[in-house]
């Protein structure tokens, strides 16, 4: 997951983490755990976020399913 990409989308829409947590139906602590990679986002949560921010299929793929490479 690309945390900074999702946070950039949130900022463009004037949302704070608390705003998105309420919109998705979770506590701010639960959203924080997802943003920090402790707990994965569920499909229904991703769908709610995609609708809220009008994300394209490409946006969803890039933000939620990106592979992070720690290559040299």
If one counts every other C-beta atom within 10 angstroms of the C-beta of residue 55, the result is 19
Q: Write down all domains in the chain, each with its CATH number in brackets.
A: 3-65 (1.10.260.40)
Which residue bears the tokens 């701010």? 28
pLDDT digits (tens, 9 = 90+) for 19-68: 999 999 999 999 999 999 899 999 999 999 999 999 999 999 999 997 76
Asked if residue 71 has pLDDT above 90, the reply is no
Asked if residue 8 has pLDDT above 60, the reply is yes
Distance CA 64, CA 72 (A): 23
């Amino acid at each position: 997951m690309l945390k900074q990409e999702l946070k950039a989308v949130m900022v463009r829409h004037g949302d704070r983490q608390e705003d998105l947590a309420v919109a998705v139906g979770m506590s701010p602590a639960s959203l924080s755990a997802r943003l920090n990679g402790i707990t994965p986002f569920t499909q229904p949560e991703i769908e709610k976020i995609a609708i809220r921010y009008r994300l394209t299929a490409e946006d969803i793929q890039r933000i939620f399913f990106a592979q992070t490479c720690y290559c040299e």
